[in-house]
Amino acid sequence: MKKPKVVTISYSSLTSINRKVYGALAEYCDICLIIPSYDTIGGVIKTAEPAAAGDPPLIFLPLISNNPRSQYFKGIWKVLKTNKPDFIYLENDPISVLCFICCLYRLFYGAKILCQTNENLSLSLKGIFSKGGFRAKSMLILKRITCFFIRPFVDQVFTINYDGKKIFEHLKFKRVSWIPLGYDPGYFHRDESARLKIRMELKLASPTIGYFGRIVPQKGLLLLLKALIELQQFPWKILIDDFSVYTTPYTEEIKTFIKQHELTDKVVFFQSTHEEISEFMNACDLVVVPSITEGTFKEQYGRVVQEAIACGCLTITSDSGFLPNFFRESIFLFRENSVEAIREKIAFFLTLCQDEKERLQRDSMDFIKEYFSINAQAKVIDNAFRQIQ
């Protein structure tokens, strides 16, 4: 059977590790990948990483605008006309300028459109009567108007969380289903030699707790540090991704807290690329993800959770947003925004017997591999190609 021809449009594939899923998808289809030639991330211009082994054919195009809903690729129409795809896979919300352009292409040339969204906040018109400001209400109306025009042309919406699935089902899109943001087992796996190397380099003789992710209030690092100062009976150390490259009032607050509570000897900072971070995950005994729901922020996914589990780490998280869905058992969850809940959960895992730790590690790794790898993600996309006529 002839493989379908697919053009994928992906912002995240600026980084080579985020292209791995499309390398896996190439088993099922004839695929090429449109990515930004550069993008501005956190105020810093980042150039696209060059093609790597296993990548599908790459097409580098400049981005216009920085807002995910209004940005598009210069030259996208010409690329679509040249490649004549059967499917356009858009790694972006359907309510966007880029999707509108793809819908115009579908209108003239018939390609099927699949979108992937991170949305997890309601688009219900009831929001117009909420306490939100004029700008938020105006944006909601604009999103609903855009939705009305593009909905008939979008054949599939993939959502990375179940809140998003309910939102787009309520908006009456044709097909809506959940999809993982898959991790690559080639990078994220148990590695005893990496564990020993990092622990020796960083002198990690004590039980080591890992925090991986952005240093922003919604990710809850300060809550974690407050919980740890109440666990001085354990000889713990905490491993944190170095945030020296971006200083904010919150990072300054974290630094001040560390100094005030004399934690300098307990906190170990490190720097790594996404490809290297698995080595530091392997070095940990316990990874904590203490995200909180705040304002318009609710944890959309939590990629670091699946990656840490794949590396064999016992991983515990708050019950914010999508995070509980990474686990079969509630034993790994604690109440969000609660220092006491974090402290109790860490103490529980630090005192757990070794046999039980290993059982929980095995079960968690099996669950993650089955449902959250890039292979699982590629199969979801391929099944959609087969079902869309």
Is a pLDDT exceeding 90 seen at residue 242?
no
Is a pLDDT exceeding 70 seen at residue 246?
no
Residue 128's pLDDT band (cuts 50, 70, 90):
low
- Confidence at residue 65, expressed as pLDDT on a 0 to 100 scale: 86
Domain assignment of residue 154, yes or no: yes
Check whether residue 137 and residue 210 sit in a common domain. no
Q: pLDDT digits over 286-333, tens only? A: 999 999 998 778 999 999 999 999 999 999 999 999 999 999 999 999
- Confidence at residue 124, expressed as pLDDT on a 0 to 100 scale: 73
Q: pLDDT digits over 74-122, tens only? A: 999 999 999 999 999 999 999 999 999 999 999 999 999 999 999 998 7
Domain assignment of residue 101, yes or no: yes
- The predicted model gives 327-346 an average pLDDT of 97
Q: What is the dihedral of CA 87, 91, 94, 96, to 10 degrees?
A: -120
Residues 6+ away with beta carbon under 8 Å from 263? 225, 228, 229, 257
Q: Is residue 306 within 8 Å of 281, Cβ to Cβ?
A: no
Domain assignment of residue 209, yes or no: yes
- Confidence at residue 153, expressed as pLDDT on a 0 to 100 scale: 96
Check whether residue 132 and residue 214 sit in a common domain. no
Check whether residue 144 and residue 233 sit in a common domain. no
Q: pLDDT digits over 164-184, tens only? A: 999 999 999 999 999 999 999
| SS3 assignment, position 48 | coil
Domain assignment of residue 187, yes or no: no
Check whether residue 331 and residue 379 sit in a common domain. no
Q: pLDDT digits over 44-57, tens only? A: 788 999 999 999 99
Tell me the C-alpha distance between 188 and 286, whole Å: 16
Q: Is residue 189 within 8 Å of 307, Cβ to Cβ?
A: no
Domain assignment of residue 31, yes or no: yes
Check whether residue 96 and residue 167 sit in a common domain. yes
Q: pLDDT digits over 258-289, tens only? A: 999 999 999 999 988 888 899 999 999 999 99
Residue 67's pLDDT band (cuts 50, 70, 90):
confident
Q: Is residue 198 within 8 Å of 279, Cβ to Cβ?
A: yes
Domain assignment of residue 160, yes or no: yes
Domain assignment of residue 125, yes or no: yes
Count other Cβ atoms within 10 Å, centred on residue 296. 10
Check whether residue 246 and residue 359 sit in a common domain. yes
CATH code of the domain covering residue 332: 3.40.50.2000
Check whether residue 173 and residue 279 sit in a common domain. no
Structural domain boundaries enclosing 276 = 192-371
- Confidence at residue 145, expressed as pLDDT on a 0 to 100 scale: 84
Check whether residue 221 and residue 365 sit in a common domain. yes
Residue 143's pLDDT band (cuts 50, 70, 90):
confident
**Number of domains making up the chain:** 2
- Confidence at residue 122, expressed as pLDDT on a 0 to 100 scale: 78
Q: pLDDT digits over 210-222, tens only? A: 999 888 899 999 9
Check whether residue 286 and residue 344 sit in a common domain. yes
Tell me the C-alpha distance between 262 and 203, whole Å: 19
User: Which one is predicted more confidently, 328 or 146?
Assistant: 328
- The predicted model gives 342-349 an average pLDDT of 97
Helices (H) then strands (E): counts for the chain: 13, 17
Q: Is the whole-model pTM more than 0.85?
A: yes
Check whether residue 117 and residue 30 sit in a common domain. yes
- Confidence at residue 140, expressed as pLDDT on a 0 to 100 scale: 75
Check whether residue 128 and residue 171 sit in a common domain. yes
User: Which one is predicted more confidently, 127 or 236?
Assistant: 236
Check whether residue 114 and residue 155 sit in a common domain. yes
